[in-house]
Amino acid sequence: MTIDFKQRRQRVLDALGSAVLLLPSAPLAIRNNDVEHEYRQDSDLFYLSGFDEPESVLCLRGGKEKPYALFLRSRDPEREVWDGARAGVDGAVKAFAADEAFPIGELAQKLPALLENATRLYYRLGRDRSFDDVVLTAIDKVRSKAKLGLSWPVEIVDPATIVHEHRRVKAREELELMRRAAEITRDAHLAGMAAARPDAFEYEVEAVMLAVFRQAGAERLAYGPIVGSGPNATVLHYRKNDRKMRDGDLLLVDAGCEYGYYAADVTRTFPVGGRFSGPQRAIYEIVLAAQIASIEAVRAGVTLEAIHDASVRVIAQGLLDLGMVEGPIETVLEKQTYKKYYMHRTCHYLGMDVHDVGRYFVDGKARPLDTGVVITVEPGIYVADNAEGAPEQYRGIGVRIEDDVLVTPEGASVLTSDVPKSVDDVERACA
């Protein structure tokens, strides 16, 4: 899949006017001692460049003949023996189409000149205080030359106001990568369903799924997987994945891969023994009906609030029918008593980040969805073992069903529709 990074940069440059955009790379993170965590580039920087090395800074200058500068590590044969090849200054120009490239060690020296006569600076303050100092010092150096006729950025604006608005709506090539991530994630969930057996451990299911991700060419997980059986399925962000599964358990698996820097995010809940019990099925069918209602509500112009409300109404009625809350339905909705069992939102944006960028509210009002936005739809019901007032037969049951959904003018296109979720299809996949 070829991505036109130059076109992406040009869209941002057109929006900049005479401003400057500055994006530092994601930092290296130490795991322990001198061992680093796996590196993943800052999504904004990668979105505009395709450059994935640490210790780098991207600079775009609106209205300039050479608008794109990249600061990066120099070639270092000794370090490259240990860490792998670097692009270096020449590679930044040849392979990543930078108009100018400089060693990262020259950033403090070069930055003031790059900021001269800029009307504003798009830069995220507060994320890296040491880098903030570099930026503010550079602005001060330009300000000190005011008597020479130079101007400087008089305001610093979060780059999200430009870059994230472009990232929010997915282009054709982005959707192709997301569809591939969805396909790989589908195969992993099918493998997980087949691997879930009584007396196996949660991490065995996780391992099978991770193998599918890597064998299919996914670079990494999109997020830490949740593989929660029995009471663990009621813990929203359960991560230990170390319980021995029992016959009759439900297993909630929330896992997705990242492919080409784009994420999939899928949750399925299924019976370890291959068949839902009566109470499990009752809860599951409420959640499934809620998800279907929300997916049916998805279309351009609709808000995430409206999609969430569609799930809430179905879940509230279902809980009322099971005797888990007291009605009437409008009272349940008004007092939000359903939140004891359904406490999170139904949707979030999806893209390069699993919780992707983009404003949810504009001027205090819920923002309507645009064609090309991808969201998750993930209602759930979670009845803790010790849930006071819950009928005994429903305690310890946790169910979430999540799909990745593309917004279209006509409605929803479910990117993950091939992952089984009807009761019959799930039981067949677990057989």
Report how far residue 377's alpha carbon sits from residue 290's, in angstroms, rounded to the nearest whole number.
10
User: Of these residues, 42, 53, 100, 254, which one is catalytic?
Assistant: 254
Residue type at position 332:
V
User: Of these residues, 31, 34, 78, 334, which one is catalytic?
Assistant: 34
Place of tokens 């500068």: 69
User: Of these residues, 8, 73, 124, 400, which one is catalytic?
Assistant: 400
User: Of these residues, 44, 249, 265, 356, which one is catalytic?
Assistant: 265
**Is 37 marked active-site?**
no
Report how far residue 10's alpha carbon sits from residue 12's, in angstroms, rounded to the nearest whole number.
5
**Is 363 marked active-site?**
no
Report how far residue 316's alpha carbon sits from residue 159's, in angstroms, rounded to the nearest whole number.
40
Question: H helices of 198-347, where?
Answer: 202-215, 278-297, 304-321, 329-335
**Is 86 marked active-site?**
no
User: Of these residues, 284, 348, 353, 427, which one is catalytic?
Assistant: 348
Report how far residue 36's alpha carbon sits from residue 55's, in angstroms, rounded to the nearest whole number.
14
Residue type at position 336:
Q
- Give the Cβ contact number of residue 7 at 10 Å: 9
Residue type at position 293:
A
User: Of these residues, 52, 100, 258, 402, which one is catalytic?
Assistant: 402
**Is 265 marked active-site?**
yes
**Is 243 marked active-site?**
no
Residue type at position 21:
L
**Is 254 marked active-site?**
yes
Task: Let me know: does 198 contact 273? Beta carbons within 8 Å.
Answer: yes
- Give the Cβ contact number of residue 162 at 10 Å: 21
**Is 382 marked active-site?**
yes
Of residues 261, 352, 220, 257, the one with CA closest to residue 52: 261
Place of tokens 């929010």: 168
- Token pair recorded at residue 378: 């993930």
**Is 402 marked active-site?**
yes
Q: Name residues whose C-beta falls within 8 Å of residue 88's C-beta, 6 or more positions apart in sequence.
A: 72, 73, 74, 75
**Is 348 marked active-site?**
yes
Of residues 217, 225, 226, 211, the one with CA closest to residue 261: 217
Catalytic residue IDs: 34, 237, 254, 265, 344, 348, 355, 378, 382, 400, 402
